[in-house]
Structure 1
């Protein structure tokens, strides 16, 4: 009573821990029942509406945005889709959503933020990669803030210098990740990032150092 016992299985061993509360987060389910979508000709795949890159469902005048249209399930992606669809309806010509250039942010402690491909995903996609890492302990601003635990990692295409992905764990990384998001949107290479002057003392200097580390 008043406690939850969780059982963890790893390496063939089971251990137990007691907690006050357990939050179970096992995915997103689209609320598509009873709307008449399939009768109207809208395709549904595992409770999510199937759309193209402009959020069109294939049924004239019917669009789907946000969580119901599938991953990434993020508020900023949903907002941008809403603007894009409004512009389409108004007769404008917006750019389509690029899921790989949308940052994922987790507001835990420490914060986690990422954009693009991980090392493993980049290798699976056939890229030859260069990877750079820089720790928070090497950054004066992080040390001064008392937030010296964390890491910034960047992944580049070794042949072209394209920024394939960036990953961060630590204080305020959900703010910093946008720098790499802009870099991917502008299709920047390691050369532009290396030659960018970052202000000092700032947390963002770690982003620069990570790029430099990737290229020795």
Structure 2
């Protein structure tokens, strides 16, 4: 099985990086500097909750093609109003805050695991994030990608088939020579329908501690792993 795989493409938000913990930490520091009393965990969760509905507006044709940085800013403007703190920020501060998605911290095993996997496979992002976001995040977190595949390459968001099949085509590979690595089972199931191999990696703290998430192994996936280091071992990547 492993000998057939040539490339691993990775979901990024939640799978490679701790978006929730990173954003809460930066927002708390900003709020403290401004003397704001805000539940920043709820603020972050509200920001993330707007992600799928915003993409769905693009996918349905309600909005023209719009990159994630712009969608994130639309959601941010809305929740700043809902939390009644919009007037506390200058436009420059809002721009900087919106770019917090470029500054997300990798999970502790991410870089070590990617470096091992890179020795045997092409490793690339396959994310709904836009290219600049993914490049900046890689520089910030030391993520050693061979290449960046973004929704911008295809003008489609996952789970549209164009994303999964587009990544394989850009690598000049057959779909079954590519494996999607993700912490989200719906993403993996959509990739499998397009013929990709699949690796489920558990991220129990993606949505905070003690938050209900389906972490059970699933025999429908090609591989199930505890983290990226475990995935590297299961794919016979040497230390």
Q: TM-score, structure 1 length as denominator? A: 0.25
Higher strand share: 1
Pair member with larger Rg: 1
Higher helix share: 2
Structure number with higher relative contact order (C-alpha < 8 Å, ≥ 6 residues apart): 2
Q: TM-score, structure 2 length as denominator? A: 0.23
